[in-house]
Structures are given as structure tokens and as C-alpha cells.
Amino acid sequence: MERHDEQQQEKPHKRRIHYSGRYPRHFAEKYKELNPEKYGEEIAHVRAKGNTPAGTHIPIMVKEILEVLAIKPGERGFDATLGYGGHTLAMLEKLEGKGHLYGGDVDPIESAKTEARIRAKGFGPDIWERRQMNFCEIDKLAEEVGPFDFVLADLGVSSMQIDNPERGFTYKSDGPLDLRLNPQAGISAADRLRQLDYEELVGMMQENADEPYAEAIARQIIRAEKHRPIRMTRELYAVIEAALEKVRLPRDAAGKVPDRRDIIRKSSARVFQALRIDVNHEYEVLYEFMEKLPYALAPGGRAAILTFHSGEDRIVKKAFKAFHQQGIYQDIAREVIRPSREECYENSRAHSTKLRWAIRAD
């Protein structure tokens, strides 16, 4: 009896998180959404409303990607950006138990969770392997395992990363201003802000996100940093808000002044995007990946790339076009493929997606 009491003391009962109001608002409170295998009905209800359950991710344009990649049993493939694993599972089904698929991801936290989910579906190391790597290292992987018959790169940030305030990817929840895809490497966004001067801040926001109020926001960031370092996501949002409360907003074609709250929200999203791209060196990594991609493909190998903003799409489009003109790709997408209206309705995060593809020359 005494031993039982000691064990009870060693493992205190952990109470379920309680929240005020009818529905959970904060990430940690959404315990049902964070356990999709256990609470299937709750997940279906959230998705039916056009929302993405917290801590999960809905794969975008799965049907279109599978059509482009035309996967056949026995082929070798590479999901360059593993994420939540939705695209990976769809591709594994096409292999029908034959061939091999590799999943690469720079995020050690989420990719480990994804590996557990995929293993639970019955896919062992004989057909699928996770690699902790940046996708620009595709040449090293191809050198090790052989060229790929198909490659997918989904350049979007996963919903699991966006939703978790501890990762600092959004201004909508307060958390450390981090923004690193791999929080174990590099420096955080908060530390990066302290390194940049006014001209560098303006250039970063304009080049990475086409931010129209970059100068006003940069001035306010410099002013705030002199007083106290910006360490949290909502602190940065407050700085952006203060900067845009002072600017004169131009009237639209109808002579109407736009809603300032809407301007602040859109600029905040762009500033966080610009800072994330800078912290993770996303453009440099993408340039390197696009240069190496055709040489990692087998003859006739297919590549599909999902982009989510104009900067990414320009890089992909130019690289595909240049290699096509050199005869390295035998065919490329002439126009982007967009998600259907139905998919955009069911998944609001699909709206900005563009799909481009290329086929390696035989």
C-alpha cells in the first residue's frame, strides 16, 4: 500500500487545460485539435468550417501534384519539404509498396512528429526515410542514393509552425520573436533586428515582401530598438501599428481612404514574412536548390514546386525557363496552376499558391 502511495506521488495527476468562454482561443487550449487521431469528429468539424485545426496542416493541391509527378510503382522520389507529411502519404500510396521515398525537412521538431505519424500508417524504412536536411542539399542526397524520378518542394511554412506561438511566426499570438525553421541553428528574428540598420531594414521589407510602408516601419523599429530591444511578436506588431498610425494613407480610385486596421494587418503579415525569409536565408537556399535540382533528377524525372508569394515564384519561373532553353529540361509549365475555387474555400491558406513543374530531358 505504501509503495502504491509513493507511485501516486511520483506521478501527479495532470489536469486538462481549461479555458474561459465556449471555445478555446489559445494554441495550448486546443487539446482536441492537437490530437487528430483521438478526436476525429472535432477535426472534421473544424475543417468543415474552412479552418485548419491547430497543430495540423492540410496539404495543398494534392490532386494536381500527383497528376504532374505521374508517380509509378518502383520509382525513387524526394519530398524536399516534408512538413506535416500530407503530400508524402499521397505519394507513398502511388508507389504501391514498391520503390523508395525520402522526406527532407530542416525543422527537427515537426519532422520528428511527422515521422511518427507516417510510421504509424505502416510505412517502414524499407520504403520511406526521413532526412534532417535543408532541401538545397539535394545534390548530396542524390549522390548518396541515386537520381530521383520525382521531386516535390512545397515552399510554404506549415500551419503547425504558424499556429504555435512558441515559434514566433505570426503577430496574431504573443510569443518569442524567433521565426527560425530550425530553432537549433542560426539567430532568432529578434537578434537579427538588432543587427540591421535603417537602409537594411527598408531593403529587407521591400525585397522580401514588397512592403509599401517600409520606410515608416523601419524608422519606428530603429526608434523602438534604441529604447528597448524587440523580443516578442506582439511587441513588433505594436511597433508596426505605431508606425502606420502616423502615415497618410492614399485614397483609392474611388476616392475612398482604406481602412487603417486592414492596412496594419496586411503590413504586419508582410513584415513577418520579410523577416522570416531573411532569418532563414530562404531566397539564397531556393536559388541553390533550383540550380542543383535538374542534376538530381533522373532522365525523364519530374519536379513540382509550390510557391506562395511572388518572390519565390519569380525564382522558380526563371530557373525553369533558363534550364529549358539550355535543353536540360525537355518541358516546363508555361503557365502556373492554381488551386480550385473549392479548395480555396475549404482551405483559406491555399489562396496564394502557385504550382510550376518541369521534366528532365532524357
For residues 126 and 347, which has the higher predicted lDDT (pLDDT)?
A: 126
For residues 296 and 348, which has the higher predicted lDDT (pLDDT)?
A: 296
| Predicted local distance difference test score (pLDDT) of residue 49 | 54
Q: Are 64 and 336 in contact (CB under 8 A)?
A: no
- Mean pLDDT of all residues in the chain? 86
Extract the C-alpha cell encoding 301: 524525372
The most confident of the ranges 105-119, 142-156, 346-360 is 142-156
**Residue whose cell numbers read 513584415:** 271
> Looking at beta carbons, which pairs linking 121-126 to residues 24 or more positions away fall under 8 Å?
121/89, 123/92
Q: Please report, as a single letter, which amino acid is at residue 134.
A: N
Residue 239's nearest CA partner among 222, 215, 255 is: 222
User: What is the pLDDT confidence band of residue 97, given thresholds at 50, 70 and 90?
Assistant: very high
- What are the tens digits of pLDDT across the range 30-42? 444 455 555 555 6
For residues 143 and 342, which has the higher predicted lDDT (pLDDT)?
A: 143
Residue 47: CB atoms within 10 Å = 15
Q: Answer whether residue 351 shows pLDDT above 50.
A: yes
| Predicted local distance difference test score (pLDDT) of residue 47 | 52
- What are the tens digits of pLDDT across the range 299-315? 999 999 999 888 899 99
- What are the tens digits of pLDDT across the range 237-251? 999 999 999 888 888
> pTM for the whole thing?
0.80
Tell me which H or E stretch contains 320.
helix 310-325
The residues near 247 (Cβ < 8 Å, ≥ 6 apart) are: 213, 216
Q: Tell me, what DSSP letter sits at residue 146?
A: -
User: What is the pLDDT confidence band of residue 110, given thresholds at 50, 70 and 90?
Assistant: confident
Residue 211's nearest CA partner among 277, 135, 164, 155 is: 277
CA distance 235 to 227: 13
Tally the C-alpha atoms within 13 A of residue 57's C-alpha that lie toward its C-beta.
Answer: 28
Residue 85: CB atoms within 10 Å = 27
Q: Are 33 and 54 in contact (CB under 8 A)?
A: yes
| Predicted local distance difference test score (pLDDT) of residue 183 | 87
The residues near 175 (Cβ < 8 Å, ≥ 6 apart) are: 164, 165, 166, 167, 168, 232, 233
Q: Are 172 and 164 in contact (CB under 8 A)?
A: no
| Predicted local distance difference test score (pLDDT) of residue 33 | 45
**Bridge partners (DSSP) listed for residue 101:** 77, 128
| Predicted local distance difference test score (pLDDT) of residue 173 | 83
Query: CB-based burial of residue 147 (10 Å sphere; 0-12 exposed, 13-18 middle, 19+ buried)?
Result: middle
Q: Answer whether residue 126 shows pLDDT above 60.
A: yes
Mean pLDDT score, 153-162? 78
The residues near 222 (Cβ < 8 Å, ≥ 6 apart) are: 197, 198, 201
User: What is the pLDDT confidence band of residue 217, given thresholds at 50, 70 and 90?
Assistant: very high
Query: CB-based burial of residue 128 (10 Å sphere; 0-12 exposed, 13-18 middle, 19+ buried)?
Result: buried
